[in-house]
């Protein structure tokens, strides 16, 4: 599937060729895959975990897992669907880990720590408006953090990653009807949280 998404990254192009090259012994083709998908994986991890350092560790874990399993990839699904599945599962496992719960308990997750958001605020012309925008993003992220992992995954995959219901179904292993009903419930719950804090 070759489909252009909102951030301009083309998914699926040349993935099969790169994977086959890797499976034939060309390890460098893996690096090409990392460069191609690192931003999407890192962003999904960041939105899922709500912490910059955790997101970096988790997304590294994702690519290490991909490297170790890529020789067994049999093209039954698209590579990026498989990659997203690994990413979601890695993040879910990380959230369930005791170490992550301890971090979440002891450290208030703040977007202020994210240098990227600081950069955005500096780049814009209207600092007051940007401050407001930055605060909204922080509150939205906090509301996302409070969602259960299942709801969080489905919201992120649909509304931030822009995947179709079918693609989400393939990633989380659920039928179309289940995806629709879970997305509806997740959006209602997130909206309820946002109405409370915004």
Q: At what angle do helices 176-197 and 127-145 cross, to 10 degrees?
A: 130
What secondary structure, in 3-state letters, does the chain show? CCEECCCCCEECCCHHHHHHHHHCCCCHHHHHHHHHHHHHHHHHHHHHHCCHHHHHHHHHHHHHHHHHHHHHCCCCCCHHHHHHHHHHHHHHHHHHCHHHHHHHHHCCCCHHHCHHHHHHHHHCCCHHHHHHHHHHHHHHHHHHHCCCHHHHHHHHHHHHCCCCHHHHHHHHCCCHHHHHHHHHHHHHHHHHHHHHHC
Minimum CB–partner distance for residue 126 and another protein (Å) = 16
Region 1-60 residues binding another protein, contact defined as CB under 8 A: 6-7, 30-31, 34-35, 38-39, 42-43, 46-47, 52, 55-56, 59-60
Out of 25, 99, 106, 116, the residue judged to bind another protein by CB under 8 A: 116
Nearer to another protein by Cβ, of 105 and 196: the residue is 196
143-162 residues near another protein, rule: CB under 8 A = 155, 158-160, 162
Contact pick of 89, 104, 138, 194 for another protein (by CB under 8 A):
194
- Give the gyration radius of the chain's Cα atoms: 18
Q: Does 85 bind another protein (CB under 8 A)?
A: no
Question: Nearer to another protein by C-beta: 8 or 173?
Answer: 8
User: Is residue 86 a contact residue for another protein (CB under 8 A)?
Assistant: no
- In the bound complex, what is the minimum distance in angstroms from residue 20's beta carbon to another protein? 19
Tell me which residues touch another protein (CB under 8 A).
Answer: 6-7, 30-31, 34-35, 38-39, 42-43, 46-47, 52, 55-56, 59-60, 63-64, 67-68, 114, 116-117, 120, 136-137, 140, 155, 158-160, 162, 165, 180-181, 183-185, 187-188, 190-191, 194-195
């Amino acid at each position: 599937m070759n489909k252009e998404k909102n951030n301009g990254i083309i998914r699926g192009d040349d993935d099969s060729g790169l994977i086959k090259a890797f499976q034939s012994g060309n390890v460098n083709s893996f690096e090409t895959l990392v460069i191609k998908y690192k931003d999407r994986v890192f962003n999904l991890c960041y939105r899922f975990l709500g912490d910059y350092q955790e997101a970096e560790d988790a997304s590294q874990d994702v690519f290490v897992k991909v490297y170790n399993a890529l020789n067994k990839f049999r093209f039954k699904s698209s590579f990026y669907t498989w990659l997203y599945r690994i990413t979601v599962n890695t993040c879910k496992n990380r959230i369930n880990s005791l170490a992550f719960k301890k971090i979440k308990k002891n450290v208030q997750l703040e977007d202020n720590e994210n240098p990227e958001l600081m950069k955005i605020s500096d780049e814009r012309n209207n600092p007051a408006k940007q401050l407001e925008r930055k605060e909204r993003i922080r509150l939205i992220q906090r509301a996302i953090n409070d969602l259960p992992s299942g709801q969080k995954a489905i919201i992120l995959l649909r509304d931030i990653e822009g995947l179709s219901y079918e693609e989400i179904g393939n990633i989380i292993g659920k039928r179309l009807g289940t995806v629709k009903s879970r997305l509806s419930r997740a959006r209602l719950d997130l909206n309820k949280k946002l109405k409370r804090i915004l």
